[in-house]
Amino acid sequence: MMTNPTGRLTQGQFSFLPDLTDAEITLQIEYGLRQGYAWAVEYTDDPHPRNTYWEMFGMPMFDLADVAGVMLELKSCRSTFPQHYIRLVAFDSTRGVETIAMSFIVNRPSVEPGFSLVRQETNGRTIRYTIRGHEADRPEGERYRK
């Protein structure tokens, strides 16, 4: 299991920790709101590390005062895509920054087969490496079925 030592995707903050509980997620959101970040919910079933832009669920949530709004959106995303990767991203709109300040996974498929390493032999003895998700063979929307 060298390509998938933990059996889980490690991207973004807290991804080496056990999954955050809803109470812990609430605290993180609260912190982000205090910093003035705008939260958004994103989901995907193609978690390749180079797939930077996941689909956004609904609209980014600017001008929120309280956690309940974000949690509401997260719950409805979880019920729509229970077997997808879902992450929360916080956008910092400070001029000159204007980028994602926080991002962490809040929902995972029940089984995460991980990635395989593909070796391509080219001229001479050169080998090019690439990684490929095991689930990526199947079409979008049919991956990570139980």
Give the DSSP letter string of 1-20: -TTSTTSS---SBTTTSSPP
Quick check: helix, strand or coil at residue 41? strand
Cβ proximity to other proteins, 29 vs 105, nearer residue? 29
Considering the rule CB under 8 A, would residue 68 count as an interface residue with other proteins? Answer: yes
- Is 45 among the residues that bind other proteins (CB under 8 A)? no
DSSP 3-state of 129: strand
Listed ranges 43-51, 65-73, 79-87, 134-142: which one lies at the site for other proteins (CB under 8 A) = 65-73
Which is closer to other proteins, CB of 66 or CB of 140?
66
Cα–Cα distance, 21 to 23 (Å, whole number)? 5
Q: Tell me which of 25, 38, 40, 67 binds other proteins, using CB under 8 A.
A: 67
Residues that bind other proteins (CB under 8 A): 58-59, 61, 63-70, 72-73
